[in-house]
Amino acid sequence: MDHSRRRGRWAPLVLALALSACAVAAPSAAELPLVTVVAPLAPLTVLAAAVSDQPSDTATAGLAPPLTVAQPVQFAPAVPSELPRGGREIFPTYEVIAHYGTATTAVLGVLGEGTPEQAGRNLLKAAEPFGKASGRRILPAFELIVSVAQRSAGDDGDYSAYIPDADIDRYLAEARRIKALVILDLQPGLADPLVQAKHFEKYLSQPDVGLALDPEWKLYGNQQPGRQIGYMTPESINEVSAWLADLRQRLDLPEKLFVLHQFQTRMIPERASVVTRPGLATVIHVDGFGSRGAKKGTYATLALPSGGPLHNGFKLFIDEDIDMFNPLEVMALRPRPELITYQ
C-alpha cells in the first residue's frame, strides 16, 4: 500500500497543530479486517528538511506551517429557528457533504488548504455532484478541528490545544455566506470531552454549529497522542450528548449534528449503550483509508442499519485512499451514508 502523502511535508513550527500521517496496521482477531492507525506525532522542533514523496513502509509525519494572526471577523447572524438551507431537521431531508481540517494548515485536511473563502468554493464544488447522486438536498459543512491533539502535554498537561476563536469566526463567517454548517471537532487528549465541549458553548449555541467527538485522540493515564489509538466510553459520550441536547432544547435550536468518529470497534466499546437524544442527529462516522475493499469491509462492520436512531457517515481521504470512490459509488454503499466527509 502507498503510504506517501502530498500534505506530509516538514515545515517550520510555531504551534504544534499537527496530526501524524497514517499507516495501515496489522489487524488483530478482535478488530476489523483492515483498519488504519496513526503514527507518533512529529517532534516539536523547527525542521527544514522535506519528507520524501516516495512510498515507504514507515509513516511520515507532518508539521504545520507558522500560524498567522487572524483578524476579527464580522459575520451575519443566523436565523435562530432554521438550518442554513431551511427547515429544522437534517435527515432525511439533506445529504451532508463536509470538508475536514483545521485553520492555517493543510497538514490536517483539505479544509485548511487556503483561505476560508477558498475552502467555501472548494466545498461547494465537491458537494454539487452529490445532489443528483443522492436524490436529496445538499447541506454543505465545514468540519473544523478546534481542539487539536499535541505531542507536548502543554501547561495543562492534557496534550490538546484549542485553536483561536478568531479562526473559528473566519470559518463560521464563510459557512454562513455559502449557507453551510460548521461542525466543531474535538481531539481531547487527556482532557474531559464534556469540558472541551462546554468551552465552545457560545458557538454551539448557534443554530448552524454541530459537534464531533474523535475517540482516536481520547487518552488515559500515561498515554500520549500517536502512541496509542484512543477510545471514548459510552458514559463519556452520553454526558456530552445530554449537555448538547439540553442546550439545543433550551435555546429552541434546529436539529444538531452530533458526530462520532470510528474506524475500530474498540474506539467506542459497548457502542449499543450510546444514547440517542431528541434534537441531535447522531452519526457514526466510519473513518479509515486504504483500498476499496478495505474501506468496504470497515464500513460493513461498523455501519448501522438504515432507519434506526443512529445515522451513518463515510470519510474519503483525498491523498491516502487507493482509487477513491466517486459520489455515485459512495451513494451505492449499503446502508447509504448520510454524511460524507473529505479529508
In the chain, the domains with their CATH numbers are 94-342 (3.20.20)
Q: What value, to the nearest 5°, has the Cα angle with vertex 22 and ends 17 and 28?
A: 130
pLDDT for res 79:
65
Cβ–Cβ < 8 Å for 117, 29? no
Residue 162 forms beta bridges with which residues?
147
pLDDT digits (tens, 9 = 90+) for 129-184: 999 999 999 999 999 999 999 999 999 999 999 999 999 999 999 999 999 999 99
**Lowest mean per-residue pLDDT among 21-25, 94-98, 101-105, 257-261:** 21-25
pLDDT band (50, 70, 90) for residue 9: very low
pLDDT for res 21:
31
Is the confidence at residue 46, as pLDDT, over 80?
no
pLDDT for res 288:
86
pLDDT for res 113:
92
User: Dihedral sign, CA of 249, 241, 41, 267?
Assistant: negative
Total residue length of the chain: 343
Reference 341, options 145, 65, 179, 142; nearest CA is 142
Q: Where are the alpha helices (DSSP H) in the chain?
A: 116-134, 165-177, 193-199, 201-204, 234-250, 292-302, 327-331
Is residue 30 helix, strand or coil?
A: coil
Is the confidence at residue 59, as pLDDT, over 50?
no
Is the confidence at residue 52, as pLDDT, over 70?
no
Task: State the Cα–Cα distance between residues 297 and 299, nearest whole angstrom.
Answer: 5
Is the confidence at residue 11, as pLDDT, over 50?
no
Using CA atoms, how far residue 189 sits from 95, 157, 260, in Å, is 31, 9, 16
Residue 256 forms beta bridges with which residues?
280
Average pLDDT, the chain: 82
pLDDT band (50, 70, 90) for residue 72: low
> Grid coordinates 504545520 are at which residue?
64
Task: State the Cα–Cα distance between residues 136 and 94, nearest whole angstrom.
Answer: 6
User: Prior bond to 72 cis, omega within 30?
Assistant: no
Residues 6+ apart with CB under 8 A from 62: 5, 7, 8, 9, 10, 11, 18, 19, 20, 21, 42, 51, 107
pLDDT for res 307:
86
pLDDT digits (tens, 9 = 90+) for 232-287: 999 999 999 999 999 999 999 999 999 999 999 999 999 999 999 999 999 999 99
Q: What value, to the nearest 5°, has the Cα angle with vertex 314 and ends 104 and 41?
A: 45
**Lowest mean per-residue pLDDT among 37-46, 91-100, 205-214, 263-272:** 37-46
pLDDT digits (tens, 9 = 90+) for 295-333: 999 999 999 998 889 999 999 999 999 999 999 999 999
Classify residue 76 by its DSSP letter: P
Is the confidence at residue 69, as pLDDT, over 70?
no
Average pLDDT over residues 105-116: 93
pLDDT band (50, 70, 90) for residue 12: very low
Is residue 297 helix, strand or coil?
A: helix
Task: State the Cα–Cα distance between residues 2 and 150, nearest whole angstrom.
Answer: 26
Q: What percent of the chain has pLDDT over 70?
A: 77
pLDDT for res 40:
30
**Total-model pTM:** 0.80
Our CA dihedral for 197, 203, 205, 206, rounded to 10 degrees, sits at -140
Is the confidence at residue 199, as pLDDT, over 60?
yes
Average pLDDT over residues 27-41: 34
